[in-house]
Amino acid sequence: MTEKNLKTQLAHVAFDGPLLNASGIHCQTADELADLAATANLGGIVTKSATLLPRQGNENPRYYDLAYGSINSMGLPNLGYPFYLDYVQKEEAKPTILSVAGLSADDVIEVLRDVQNSDYQGLTELNLSCPNVIGKPQTAYDFVATRKVLERIFEFFTKPIGVKLPPYFDLVHFDQIAAVLNDFPLTHVNTVNSVGNGLVVDIEKEQVVTKAKGGFGGLGGAMILPTALANVRALRQRLNDNIAIIGTGGVTTGADVFAHILCGADMVSVGTQVIKEGLGVYDRLTQELQDIMDEKGYTSLADFRGKLQEL
């Protein structure tokens, strides 16, 4: 096998490999984050989306495993942003992405003011897309609200920041969100969050499978791969070249990682499959990706990134 260069970059931050954990996956507590720091073939660490105040999240059951993926209604359980801001300033093993979320635009501004005033020089990611907070819509489905919050942020925020998006399903919506995002100096977009407000039915019990919101929850895993790939591709075709893309959604094999990169992803994050398989998944995915690159004679990610062909 020829030597592969799996290095990649988001803004000024260099990563040894393209794989990340999806925010929310094994990244809420100090112990979980320490496990990620020790995980081979994980290029960087994304923290659980942090809010102004700590949150317990939604009632259990709030995650349900399916043969074809998962449904979750976690509701942003997290230790509050000061914990994660402190963590990213101390973490030395791998580059970090500090994920933050707000229950309101004012919350977001307050959190980001502290990030701005801190010594943290790494990447931040604003989660505009959690579908599971009771009574709160997904901000990035409201293009006017998204523009307004970004305008407020870039009045004072000068550090590298990207956004986490929900999946879009109409080409007009890709045009609209790209037109908003292209007006701001974003480092990256992370696409997609879970496919919001799916419903899984247990026909034996004649019941839903998660507690909050009457069982409506975010879908992840294999079943959302085509949606995730479509979002990576459609955004890569529309966003300014200097906005990088983290592809998230549906990865179970190295071929799926390859497909995300072929659609234009600079990095690829893994969620449901980590829960199913454990942190060893990153070794397997890396090996499978390298095997595909070997078969095709590719030696770096740049050899095929964004080079998906049309018929």
* Residues identified as active-site: 130
Nearer to ligand SIN, 41 or 73 (CB): 73
Residue from 17, 24, 215, 250 binding ligand SIN (CB under 6 A): 24
Contact criterion met (CB below 8 Å) for 152 and 193:
no
Q: What is the DSSP letter of 287?
A: H
**Is residue 49 involved in binding ligand SIN (CB under 6 A)?**
yes
260's CB contacts (< 8 A; 6+ apart) are 228, 229, 232, 247, 251, 268
Contact criterion met (CB below 8 Å) for 140 and 189:
no
Contact criterion met (CB below 8 Å) for 177 and 146:
yes
Segment lying near ligand SIN (by CB under 6 A), choices 25-33, 128-136, 232-240, 241-249? 128-136
Bond prior to 274 in cis (omega within 30° of 0): no
**Is residue 130 involved in binding ligand SIN (CB under 6 A)?**
yes
Contact criterion met (CB below 8 Å) for 225 and 254:
no
What length is written for the chain?
311
Nearer to ligand SIN, 124 or 132 (CB): 132
Interface of this chain with ligand SIN, residues 185 to 224, rule: CB under 6 A: 193-194, 218
The encoded tokens of residue 125 equal 């990611």
**Is residue 21 involved in binding ligand SIN (CB under 6 A)?**
no
Residue from 76, 178, 195, 212 binding ligand SIN (CB under 6 A): 76
Determine the size of the site formed for ligand SIN (CB under 6 A).
13
Segment lying near ligand SIN (by CB under 6 A), choices 25-33, 86-94, 126-134, 302-310? 126-134
Contact criterion met (CB below 8 Å) for 200 and 206:
no
Nearer to ligand SIN, 102 or 218 (CB): 218
Q: State the nearest-atom distance from the C-beta of 49 to ligand SIN, in Å.
A: 5
The binding site for ligand SIN (CB under 6 A) comprises 24, 49, 74-76, 127, 129-132, 193-194, 218
